[in-house]
């Protein structure tokens, strides 16, 4: 009897230890999958023409800890939003941005940087990514899941942007290559390669505008075969561009250097936009143009959102309600009265 009690006691103790161990393991596993960092997504609702005219900021709590690198609002279902992040793959909202959840696709649930997201007419997604070892271009569908349709055979080079034209796809890489597929990604052609990396791309009316790793803006009218440097000048010196934005509706370009510049003719000429605060005192980090009204321009510094309704002649200011630094601005023609602010 005594032996039976001892054996029973041993099994009870082992059971408790196993249970505690499993609980600790599960907590640790769950915690490691949570977003890390201090970022988040804020929605700005532009209901008025100035900071006091009804503009509203709303923080999306489900994005806490995430730094958004790209954002797409679906044209097929405007309540569906896809946010590409730095190191945390793709996060999806099905309720108009109220809540985001991480995509559980086998490829996308890894620690992946997603720099650009495009959608075709069927609702399929095309993602420009880097996973810590190589860049890839990913096709994602609800029917078939996700698959790499292009990957960079050279390590440590990412895919940073794409454009879709029917069954034709163009992508850019930090290896300096501009690649194009005429058959939806089944085979690829190297259209050109530069010595500097290609980091950001916009396509406007068949013309490609690209930011390079040498801080220049270049343009191509022949699907990446040849390029023209359209970076703005300061006297005889080309300005070093930190970021830029091309409005797909009007073709207007915004460029960020030590100053904010606007081109209304595809980069042929530029004019400086005078902000209220000197650019050197509070540098602008990101810019964007309203998708339905090109007279409305947005620019952000670390914690200030600038808004102009007259193409940059005058500005209103709003303080972003976050202790985090604004790192990017995103607009969508699907929801033109909303501006999305990424923080980190």
Q: What is the pLDDT of residue 232?
A: 93
Query: What number is the average pLDDT over the span 79-93?
Result: 96
Whether the per-residue pLDDT at 316 is higher than 70: the answer is: yes
Q: Tell me which of 6-15, 103-112, 237-246, 310-319 is least confident.
A: 6-15
pLDDT classification of 147: cutoffs 50, 70, 90: very high
How far is C-alpha 213 from the geometric centre of its chain's CA atoms? Answer: 17
Whether the per-residue pLDDT at 94 is higher than 60: the answer is: yes
Query: What number is the average pLDDT over the span 140-145?
Result: 86
Query: What number is the average pLDDT over the span 47-64?
Result: 72
**81-85 and 68-73 beta bridge pairing:** antiparallel
Query: What number is the average pLDDT over the span 3-22?
Result: 40
Q: What is the pLDDT of residue 235?
A: 72
pTM of the full structure: 0.85
Whether the per-residue pLDDT at 26 is higher than 60: the answer is: no
Share of the chain above pLDDT 70, in %: 85
Looking up tokens 């009690």 gives: 5
More confident residue, 223 or 10: 223
More confident residue, 284 or 162: 162
Rg, the chain, Cα only: 23
Instruction: Give the 3-state DSSP-derived string for the chain, with helices as H, strands as E and coil as C.
Output: CHHHHHHHHHHHHHHHHHHHHHHHHHHHHHHHCCCCCCCEEEEEECCCCCCCCCCEEEEEHHHCCCCEEEEEECCCCCCCEEEEECCCCEEEECCCCCCCEECCCCCCCCCCEEEEEEECCCCCEEEEEECCCCEEEEEEECCCEEEEEEECCCCCCCEEEEEEECCEEEEEECCCEEEEECCCCCCCEEEEECCCCEEEEEEECCEEEEEECCCCEEEECCCCCCCEECCCEECCEECCCCEEEECCCCCCEEEECCCEEEECCCCCCCEEECCCCCCCCCCCCEEEECCCCCCCEEEECCCEEEEECCCCCCCEEEECCCCCCEEEEECCCCCCCEEEEEEC
Q: What is the pLDDT of residue 109?
A: 74
Q: Tell me which of 29-38, 76-85, 186-195 is least confident.
A: 29-38
At CA 228, angle to CA 167 and CA 176, rounded to 5? 65
Q: What is the pLDDT of residue 178?
A: 98
Identify the burial level of 43 via C-beta atoms within 10 angstroms of its C-beta, where 0-12 means exposed, 13-18 middle and 19 or more buried.
Answer: middle
Query: Which of the residue ranges 138-142, 223-227, 235-239, 276-280 has the most confident prediction, judged by mean pLDDT?
Result: 223-227
pLDDT classification of 36: cutoffs 50, 70, 90: very low
Whether the per-residue pLDDT at 34 is higher than 80: the answer is: no
Query: What number is the average pLDDT over the span 143-165?
Result: 93
pLDDT classification of 119: cutoffs 50, 70, 90: very high
User: b/e string for 235-257 if b means 16 or more Cβ within 10 A?
Assistant: eeebbebebbbbbeeebbbbbbb
How does pLDDT run across 231-261, given as a tens digit for each residue? 998 777 889 999 999 999 999 999 999 889 9
Write down the mean pLDDT value for the chain. Answer: 86
Q: Tell me which of 61-75, 116-130, 134-148 is least confident.
A: 134-148
pLDDT classification of 38: cutoffs 50, 70, 90: low
How does pLDDT run across 160-196, given as a tens digit for each residue? 999 999 889 999 999 999 999 999 999 999 999 999 9
Query: What number is the average pLDDT over the span 19-37?
Result: 33
Q: What is the pLDDT of residue 24?
A: 27
Q: Tell me which of 191-195, 203-207, 222-226, 321-325 is least confident.
A: 321-325
């Amino acid at each position: 009897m005594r032996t039976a009690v001892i054996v029973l006691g041993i099994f009870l103790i082992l059971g408790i230890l196993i249970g505690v161990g499993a609980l600790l393991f599960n907590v640790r596993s769950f915690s490691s999958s949570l977003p890390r960092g201090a970022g988040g997504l804020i929605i700005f609702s532009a209901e008025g023409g100035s900071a006091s005219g009804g503009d509203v900021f709303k923080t999306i709590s489900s994005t806490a800890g995430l730094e958004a690198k790209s954002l797409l609002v679906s044209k097929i279902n405007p309540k569906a939003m896809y946010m590409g992040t730095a190191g945390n793959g793709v996060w999806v909202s099905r309720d108009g941005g109220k809540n985001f959840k991480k995509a559980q696709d086998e490829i996308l649930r890894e620690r992946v940087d997603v720099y650009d997201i495009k959608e075709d007419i069927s609702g399929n997604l095309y993602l420009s990514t880097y996973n810590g070892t190589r860049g890839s271009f990913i096709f994602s569908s609800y029917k078939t899941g996700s698959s790499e349709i292009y990957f960079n055979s050279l390590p440590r080079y990412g895919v940073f942007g794409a454009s879709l034209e029917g069954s034709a796809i163009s992508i850019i890489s930090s290896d300096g290559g501009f690649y194009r597929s005429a058959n939806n990604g089944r085979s690829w052609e190297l259209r050109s390669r530069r010595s500097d990396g290609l980091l950001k791309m916009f396509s406007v009316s068949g013309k490609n505008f690209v930011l390079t790793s040498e801080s220049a803006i270049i343009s191509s009218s022949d699907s990446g075969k040849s390029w023209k440097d359209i970076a703005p000048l300061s006297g005889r010196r080309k300005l070093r561009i930190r970021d830029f934005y091309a409005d797909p509706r009007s073709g207007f370009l915004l460029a960020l250097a030590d100053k904010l510049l606007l081109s209304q003719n595809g980069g042929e000429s530029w004019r400086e936009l005078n902000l209220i605060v000197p650019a050197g005192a509070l540098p602008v980090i990101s810019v964007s143009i309203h998708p339905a009204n090109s007279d409305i321009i947005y620019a952000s510094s670390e914690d200030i959102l600038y808004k102009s309704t007259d193409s940059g002649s005058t500005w209103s200011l709003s303080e972003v309600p976050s202790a985090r630094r604004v790192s990017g601005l995103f607009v969508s023609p699907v929801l033109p009265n909303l501006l999305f602010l990424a923080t980190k």
